[in-house]
Every structure is written in C-alpha cells, then in structure tokens.
Amino acid sequence: MNLPNKITTLRIFLTILIIIILLFPFDAVGLTATKLFINELIVVDIKYFIAGGLFILAAITDFLDGRIARKYNLITDLGKMLDAIADKFLVNSVLIILASQGLIHPIIPVIVVARDTAVDIIKMIVGSKKEVVAAIKSGKIKTIVLMLGIILTLFNNLPFELINIKVSDVLLIIATVLSVYSGLQYYQINKDIIIR
C-alpha cells in the first residue's frame, strides 16, 4: 500500500460517506435536515452541500493518486485496479442516487454505467490477449465534465441558479454524449484485437 494507493483508498471511504449522507433517512430518525434559503427563492438541503464538498475532495484525490504514482514511479497493478474501482464507485453511485432523488434524468446514469461496463469488457478482452488499453483524451474530458456537472448538481447549480441558467444540466448532457463517443472510440481503437 504505497501513497497513491492509500489516496485511492481514501476516495473509496469518501464515496461511502457521501452515499450515507445522501441516503440517510434523517426525518425517519427524528433529525431535521437543515435547509438553506438563498435569495428567498432557492431552498437547498444542506446535506447536498456537505456531499458536494466531500465529492470535490474525492475528485481531488482522483487527480492526486495518478499524478504521484507517475511522478515517483509508484504505478502498481493493485493501484490500477483500485483506481478504476474507486472512480466508478464515486461517479456512478452518486449519479444513481441523484437520479433516484429526481435531481437528474435517469437516462444519464443508465448511459454512463452501460458505457463503463462496455469499456471494462473491452479492457478485459484486450488484457486477456496481453495487450493494454490506454486511456484516451475523450474519456478524460468526459470524466472532468461529468464531475463538474455532478458538483454543480450537488450545489443546486449555484451560482448559475440565481440567473436561471442550468449549467449543471448542460454539463451532464455533454458528459453523457462524451460517454457514448469515448466508448465508441475505445471499441474502434481496439476492434482488431477484440475480433482477433
């Protein structure tokens, strides 16, 4: 367990904490969730702000673990596996929860999870033939846009909500389109290996 792997493990624990905060039935156990009133029109449940802050911290760990691993030559098979699991666990679980709570359209997690599954299958097939699937630029851009969309959704699209511009929705739509595009790119790049 080197430093990058410890940072990745921290991301998994942060994800579990985010899930608990978003799903815990505060009302059922007699706890009143604090609401924030912004501009006398926008009412925000503070649990989303807390989850948003933790999500930002988890997203930073996603950037840090890979950078440290590459810089100090600490890349390990365990690290690669943990990083992939932590990334999908963080993003996909939050997307599913946001959809279940009516904050985003359900088609977004359906497409993102389906794409991740398809790319994982491609990686397994290619890996079984002793080849490596390199990360592609469109996949990295998709992840950044998706994380920004999730963060804005957790923060109730503020400050853009004050001027009634749905930046969070636009970012999530762009990320969903990029999910499909990057998934097709992964297939196209590795098609010959898959067919062989």
pLDDT for position 30: 74
What confidence tier does 28 reach under pLDDT thresholds 50, 70, 90?
A: confident
- Dig out the tokens for 43 from the structure: 């009412």
pLDDT for position 142: 96
Residue 73: φ, ψ to 5°: 55, 50
Residue 45: φ, ψ to 5°: -75, 125
Stretch 165-178: mean pLDDT, rounded? Answer: 97
Domain chopping of the chain, boundaries:
3-195
The amino acid that residue 90 corresponds to is L
> Would you say 65 and 83 are in contact if contact means Cβ atoms under 8 Å apart?
yes
Full 3-state SS string of 140-180 = HHHHHHHHHHHHHHHCCCCCHHHHCCCHHHHHHHHHHHHHH
pLDDT tens digit string along 91-141? 999 999 999 999 999 999 999 999 999 999 998 999 888 887 878 999 999
What is the average pLDDT score of the chain?
A: 91
What confidence tier does 27 reach under pLDDT thresholds 50, 70, 90?
A: confident
pLDDT for position 160: 94
**Third-level CATH fold of 3-195:** Four Helix Bundle (Hemerythrin (Met), subunit A) (1.20.120)
Q: How many CB atoms lie within 10 A of CB 156?
A: 20
